[in-house]
Amino acid sequence: MTAFPATALRAATGGPKEDGPKIVEHVMGWVLVVVFAMLVTQLGLL
């Protein structure tokens, strides 16, 4: 076996990309925080 199939297999897994838009990740994180806060308040845990 050569190193090529292992490298090609690893690259084809669809992992996170380093050059993606960071603003989308940031906004989705804050949306998750807001949804969690709404859930906590609706359940009366706060």
Residue-wise pLDDT tens digits, 7-30 = 555 556 666 666 668 899 999 999
Helix (H, G, I), strand (E, B) or coil at 14: coil
Is pLDDT at 45 greater than 80 in this prediction?
A: yes
pLDDT at 10: 54
pLDDT at 3: 60
Question: What are the respective helix, strand and coil percentages of the chain, to the nearest 5?
Answer: 65, 0, 35
Is pLDDT at 35 greater than 90 in this prediction?
A: yes
pLDDT at 34: 97
Angstrom distance (rounded) from CA 19 to CA 36? 28
Question: Which position has the higher pLDDT, 34 or 16?
Answer: 34
